[in-house]
Structure 1
Amino acid sequence: MTDIKVIIPAFNEADSIAHVINELPKMVSEVIVVNNNSTDDTVINAEAAGATVLTETRKGYGYACLKGLDYVASKSKQPNIIVFIDGDYSDYPEELVKVVAPILENDIDFVVGARNKNLREEGSMTPQQVFGNWLATFLMKLFFGANFTDLGPFRAIKYEKLKELDMEDKTYGWTVEMQLKVLKKKMTYTEVPVRYKRRIGVSKVSGTVKGSIFAGIKILGWIFKYSIK
């Protein structure tokens, strides 16, 4: 039986986290919420919804994801697939079935849930997010011949392949680092279209000018770092 674990980085997602956990399909064996310095009831609500809750005090999306992976690695039984999804309820958790399908059915290594324009709720992505995704995927196509159209955080990967990537980014570059390393290691990948809606609460990255700038710098930095290797 396929063992699927979900990692959810969470910073002040008290109003949304239970929705995300409760709507994940039953095929998931464990939901791991990584509390990243929340000051609200994120931890209480996540635990009440049945998640395993970890705490990472160093702020950063990558730090939270790495904490979740350290926990998974510490267990005697390893999963087959790791799924990442945000805790803001902007994705549709039940679509995890679609996101993991290419791995289960076609032995694909890595899958990105692509937030296609025709499936996005109006206003669910800021103009800077849309432009940043376009620029990053355009550069990946230019430098690496990649077919990615999105840096969507809703993604699935075989656990053994994820370990090979040796992920290291601590903050905003986590998603693009993963995609670039998949390309560099010539792993198989695909995208599946997923719906996307306005998040609950305010984005900690795209919702601020500072966050958008730093995210953009991180993403472009990873792309150019790999393009000259």
Structure 2
Amino acid sequence: MSIIKVIIPAFNEEKAIANVIAEIPNGVNEIIVISNNSTDKTEEVANNAGAKVLLETRKGYGYACLKGMEYIMNLETKPDIIVFLDGDYSDYPEELTKLVAPILNQNIDFVIGARVSNLREKGSMTPQQVFGNWLATFLMKVFFKAKFTDLGPFRAIKYDKLLQLQMEDKTYGWTVEMQLKVLKQKMSYVEIPVRYKNRIGVSKVSGTVKGTIMAGVKIIGWIMKYTFKK
């Protein structure tokens, strides 16, 4: 039986996090919520909902994910699969079984939950998000012959492959870094269409001008770095 652990970065998600945890399928062995310097009751709510709660005071999506990975590396029993899931309830956690299926049944290394347009709730992705996803995946197709269509944060990966990627990004570039390294290391990957709904609360990235610009700079920066890297 494969051991599956879920990493959920969360910043001020007290209204959403319990819903996310409650809808994660029973086959998951541990749910790890990383409170990224939250100022509300995210930690208390997540703990009461049954998650393992960690604190990361350095602000940044990547910092939170790396904290979760550090915790797992110190466990005696290591997982087979890691699933990354946002804490804002925009994804459908029960679709986790669809994401891990290609790993379990086809020995695929990496699976992206692709937020395809016909399964997205109206307004769930801002125009800048849609454009940013298109531009990033277009560039990856041009430079690396990639088949990605999305930078969706809902994703699953074999644990040993995740370690092999040697993830570095501390903030907005985490998702694109992972995909670029999967391509460069010639790991197997697939996309699985997933539903996507309006999040609870306001996005800390796409909901602000600064967040949108910083995310865009990070994403393009990682693509350029790997395009011209020897």
Q: Tell me whether the two structures share a fold, i.e. TM-score over 0.5.
A: yes
Q: What's 2:70 paired with? A: 70
Give the structure 1 partner of residue 79 of structure 2. Answer: 79
Task: Give 1:185-224 correspondences, 5 Å limit.
Answer: 185-224=185-224
Residue 94 of structure 1: how far off its partner (Å): 0.1
Supply the RMSD in Å over aligned alpha carbons.
Answer: 0.3
Return the alpha-carbon distance in structure 2 between the equivalents of residues 102 and 116 of structure 1: 18
For 2:160, the equivalent position in structure 1 comes to: 160
Write out aligned runs for 1:83-122 (5 A): 83-122=83-122
- Aligned residue for 1:19, secondary structure, equals helix
TM-score, normalised to structure 1's length?
Answer: 1.00
Following superposition, the deviation at residue 132 of structure 1 comes to: 0.1
Report Cα offsets for 1:184-218 as digits up to 9, x if no partner: 00000000000000000000000000000000000
Alpha-carbon distance in 1 for matches of 2:67, 2:209? 27
Q: Match of 1:226?
A: 226
Letter in 2 for 1:106: Q
**Residue segments in structure 2 that go unaligned for 5+ positions in a row:** none
Q: What is the TM-score of this pair, normalised by structure 2?
A: 0.99
1:123-175 residue CA offsets vs partner (Å, 9 max, x unmatched): 00000000000000000000000000000000000000000000000000000
1:59-87 per-residue CA deviation (whole Å, 9 max, x = no partner) reads 00000000000000000100000000000
Task: Show the counterpart of 2:179.
Answer: 179
Matched residue type, 1:139: L
2:28 is matched with which residue? 28
Shift of 1:219: 0.1
Q: CA deviation at 1:58?
A: 0.2
In structure 1, distance between residues paired with 2:198 and 2:41: 21
Which residue of the partner structure matches residue 10 of structure 1? 10
CA distance in 2, matches of 1:106, 1:118: 26
Q: Counterpart in 2 of 1:40?
A: 40
Structure 1's consecutive aligned runs of 4 or more residues displaced over 4 angstroms after TM superposition are: none
- SS for the counterpart of 2:204 is coil
Aligned residue for 1:27, secondary structure, equals coil
Distance in 1, matches of 2:197 and 2:147, equals 24
Query: Alignment identity in percent?
Result: 73
Tell me what 1:126 maps to. Answer: 126
Secondary structure of the structure 2 residue equivalent to 1:63 = helix
Equivalences, count: 229
- State how far apart, in whole Å, the 1-side matches of 2:194 and 2:160 are: 25
